[in-house]
Each structure stands twice: as C-alpha cells, then as structure tokens.
Amino acid sequence: MNKRVKINFAGQQLDAQQVKVDHCTERWNEYRLDDGTLLKLKLLLATVHRVEGRYDAEGNPMYAIQSTNLICAEAPRRLQRKSRKGGA
C-alpha cells in the first residue's frame, strides 16, 4: 500500500498518496546554441504524489512531484577556459 501524506499543493494543504515509479526512461533534451554549445537537460524524478480528489480537465488525477534538473554543457574549445595545472 502506498503512503498517505499531507502536501502543499497550489498553496493548500491537501491529502495525497505517494506513488512508486514502476518503470522509468530518462532521456536528455538537447539544445544547440548559436555559439556552438550543446546544452543537455534532464529531469530526475524524486517523489510522486497523487493528490486526492483533484482532477484535470480530462478527468485524470492530479500529481505533485519533487524533482531535480541536471544540466550538462558541451562548449566548443574556443569558449572553454584554459585548464590550470593542478586542477580547476
């Protein structure tokens, strides 16, 4: 059984149920900038809660998530700082 908790959702304290992730596919979103840099972004999901009694316009349950964003930049050599001896 999933854990029931109170969460802050849209400024209100509401009942929610923690939902475990059953399957995950995490892909990078990639953006090429006009300076030649490739930015890669990925959202990493930490927790998911289904908000009890709340639904979207199509009747789907509302979910609240906690997540972290990862950002990776691959810049052209001309934009990179020259490395210093002994570390960064």
Q: What is the mean pLDDT of residues 49-69?
A: 96
d(CA 83, CA 62): 48
Express as a percent the part of the chain with pLDDT over 90: 82
Whether the pTM exceeds 0.75: the reply is no
Give the other-Cβ count within 10 Å of 10's Cβ. 9
d(CA 55, CA 77): 49
Residue 83 has a pLDDT of 77
pLDDT band at 9 (very low <50, low <70, confident <90, very high): confident
- For residues 84 and 50, the model is more confident at 50
What are the boundaries of each domain within the chain?
A: 4-78
Q: What is the mean pLDDT of residues 9-23?
A: 92
